[in-house]
Amino acid sequence: MSGRQRIAIVVGTRPEAVKLAPVVRELQRTRWAEPAVLTTGQHGTVVRNTLACFGLRAEAALDPPAGTGGTAAAGPVTELTAGLLSGLGSRLSAPDVRAVLVQGDTSSALAGAMAAFFAKIPVVHVEAGLRSGDARSPFPEEAHRRMIAELSDLHLAPTHAARRNLLAQGVAADRIVVTGNTVIDAVVAASRGPRHRAVPELRGLEQNSAPLVVVTAHRRENWGEPIRRVGRAVAALSRQYPDVTFVVAAHMNPAVRTAIEESLRGRPNVHLPGPIPYDAFARLLSRSVLAITDSGGIQEETAAFGLPILVTRDNTERTEGIDSGLARLVGTDETEIVAAAEKEFAREGVLDAGKPNRAFPRPNPYGDGRAARRCAAACGWLLGLAPRPPDITGQETR
């Protein structure tokens, strides 16, 4: 691939794979880029399967960091980050790497940014500028994203609110490009694409006309009793609404999965399939009536389908969803979760069998589905190989 510039893309977790896959594909379409995906082993097989949903595979892969077993940071954060930094340091020091892309706020993203910085390679931060305002919540992601900002040469902000956060941190305006969020590109493509892998536990659900609610839980600050409260709230809702189907897409971490599922086993209208392949998950979201989650990425993905969402956290860096009225912060109090769900179910037509989601009447606050194209163009601009793309305009990201 003579004449192409090698760009390393660090992928550690499933959300990173989802949000970076559209960027990799856009880089592949350029005349100047040679994208190389490097997986860290943080989410192991799940990442490989997610990349496969988009027709991608890693060029190189690190062994799972010690203490994680290839799952989501099961070991202490310090051990995880140290192991990732050590592994990435040798991989990213190659002289032909012209830039390193990291996404979001994971330990893999932080280690990738640090390793690139130490190797004097420009760092491009996809989904830059999210802030909760509390350095300890979400933990450790809020601190990660602030540190990554200090190391980055190009900040690809998903919204204008994220741009304002970066400016407040002292980032130069000419180092920020507002792109929209690449997850919108990803979730729409996955929901419309071919089925890559069947999920036996979900067989028949896509043809079932019953109203569907998707539930997930994984945030570190919710581990233990808070996640158990979420499980008990979903159990109460399943008893109260026997004609509604609840799909609990549990995390790959066994302790997290056990905590939410212990109150739900044996409920006839509750499905517990464990982790779901991304394309199947995107299709579930596209036909759901409500999501209950503490996930940051799902707060964005649901907006692509006009899907209301109850956020089981005390704060969120995805304030655009709150402002638009799509998302509601409910914390992990059982009574609050049940009451908020009851309010959503009471809306006219929501529980009508066979009735698809109605499009949310306002613009998607997270983008227009062309974010990956802007991200790729911005990388070319950083390297002096393409013009700077214009910021996304309109109210969808304000």
Active-site annotation, residues:
105, 127, 141, 218, 220, 251
CA–CA gap between residue 250 and residue 243 (Å, rounded) = 22
Q: Look-up: residue for tokens 């704060």?
A: 315
Residue for token digits 């209301």?
Answer: 308
Residue 325 — φ and ψ, nearest 5°?
Answer: 95, 0
Separation of CA 228 from chain center? 23
Backbone phi, psi, residue 217, to 5°: -160, 130
Q: Are 127 and 19 in contact (CB under 8 A)?
A: yes
Burial 344-360 (b: 16+ CB within 10 A, else e): bbeeeebbeeeeebeeb
Tokens of 128: 């830059």
Pairwise CA distance, residues 195 & 280, whole Å: 7
Q: How far, in Å, CA of 18 to CA of 45, rounded?
A: 14
Going by DSSP bridges, is the β-strand pair 245-248/212-215 parallel, antiparallel, or unpaired?
A: parallel
